[in-house]
Amino acid sequence: MEKVGLVVVGAGVIGSAIAAELSAGKEDVLVLEAASKPGDETTGRNSGVIHAGLYYSPNSLKATTCIRGNALLYDWCIKHRVAHNKCGKLIVAKNEKQEEVLSRLFSNAKNAQAKGVSWLDQKALSTRFPEVPGRAALWSSETGIVDPIELTNSLIAKAQRSGAVLVTDARVSGIAKKEGGFLLTTSRGEVWAERVVNCAGLFADDLARMVGTKDYQIFPCRGDYFVWNTKRKFPFLIYPVKDPESSHLGIHVTFDSSGRVRLGPNATYVNYKTYDQPSSKHLKEEFLRAGRALFGDMNSSELSYDGYGLRPKLRGPEEKEDRDFVISEDIPGFVNLIGIDSPGLTACLSIAEEVSRILRSR
């Protein structure tokens, strides 16, 4: 039986960032990943947007970790040569009602101290971005994109250089609290650890219950994507105004490091946590309407289905308000990270700092 100082469960972008942070501090770190390689599930299906912190309540964990994480992430990408692009983002209001919502978003962004956010009235929008029709817009200069898998690989590689050990195909099926630590049962054998960090994403609530913490429930929320096979070039991201009662930001236009233009994601609550479900090609009309609402000219033949991701939401399907991240040492030596959906990728390095602070304070 392996005995270690600290186990990180999950080698997605969050777990990998935490492993890199803690191993750099000379922690004895073992990373357990259920999949065959880091970032192979939810992280690899992330849209890769580096958020600037516009949407989140001031002083919330989502706001503070996103805004600090934004700066840390750009620095990391430059230092470790991770493909990224600080391309900026445009959020476009099409009518008076949307303009009012956009104005409230602008105030929230300023109160949260998000950087690089400016207001564009209709004249400024048409002058600066004539290809994007609208009544008003917000421009976010600190928004960008990053390759999620390349980022995750750089983080886990840094952790391994500092002495951390990664074990893949190691799904955790049981955790028992023992004197002085925890006994983890995995598909690769048993591990005894003094401390555990639960970064299991969609399954984080299940792991928390294994040690008696029953306060959390993850609601899987599916987001599908379509590729827009267009000859148009997009040097920046384009978003609609978020519906105040919606659990997501709305179907938007992004592109990846290869230049592919994508529409998505949408948001549909589901009752599964796996990536073996059927495709959703039948959603093309929904995505076509969303694309036309932004641009007015889009043909059905230009859209092709491109897969889905699952968000580990704490906000249930009937709730009207967003829920903040949970980063909590609910029992001594066991740190839970629950509901780390967007902007988790952006915030990963800042979240790692917070976990390190919690563990150091013991």
What are the pLDDT digits (tens) for 73-96?
999 999 999 999 999 999 999 999
Mean pLDDT of 102-114: 97
Mean pLDDT of 151-157: 98
- Spatial neighbors of 224 by CB under 8 A, at least 6 apart, are 264, 265, 266, 268, 280, 283, 287, 305, 307, 308
Identify the pLDDT of residue 136.
98
pTM above 0.85, yes or no: yes
Provide the token pair at 343: 């902007």
226 with 301: CB under 8 angstroms? no
Identify the pLDDT of residue 246.
82
Mean pLDDT of 270-283: 92
**pLDDT higher than threshold 90 for residue 259:** no
Q: When comparing pLDDT for 21 and 279, which is higher?
A: 21
Identify the pLDDT of residue 177.
95
Minimal CA–CA distance to 13: which of 146, 162, 196, 108?
Answer: 146
Provide the token pair at 6: 């600290």
Distance CA 322, CA 100 (A): 20
271 with 294: CB under 8 angstroms? no
What is the pLDDT of the chain when averaged over all its residues?
95
Provide the token pair at 86: 């600080």
Q: Cβ–Cβ contacts within 10 Å for residue 26, how many?
A: 10
Distance CA 187, CA 36 (A): 12
pLDDT band at 154 (very low <50, low <70, confident <90, very high): very high
Identify the pLDDT of residue 139.
98
Q: Cβ–Cβ contacts within 10 Å for residue 295, how many?
A: 17
Q: When comparing pLDDT for 258 and 155, which is higher?
A: 155
Identify the pLDDT of residue 285.
93
Strand partners, 338: 326
Tally of residues, the chain: 362
**pLDDT higher than threshold 90 for residue 294:** no
**Opening angle at CA 10, ends 274 and 198, nearest 5:** 105
Please state the three-class secondary structure of the chain as a single string: CEEEEEEEECCCHHHHHHHHHHHHCCCCEEEECCCCCCCCCCHHHCCCEECCCCCCCCCCHHHHHHHHHHHHHHHHHHHHCCCEECCCEEEEECCHHHHHHHHHHHHHHHHCCCCCEEEECHHHHHHHCCCCCCCEEEEECCCEEECHHHHHHHHHHHHHHCCCEEECCCCEEEEEEECCEEEEEECCEEEEEEEEEECCHHHHHHHHHHCCCCCCCCEEEEEEEEEECCCCCCCCEEEECCCCCCCCCCCEEEECCCCCEEEECCCEECCCCCCCCCCCHHHHHHHHHHHHHHHCCCCHHHEEEEEEEEEEECCCCCCCCCCCCEEEEEECCEEEEECCCCCHHHHHHHHHHHHHHHHHCC
What are the pLDDT digits (tens) for 200-245?
999 999 999 999 999 999 999 999 999 999 988 879 999 999 988 8
263 with 252: CB under 8 angstroms? yes
Provide the token pair at 283: 């959603």
Identify the pLDDT of residue 279.
86
**pLDDT higher than threshold 80 for residue 257:** no
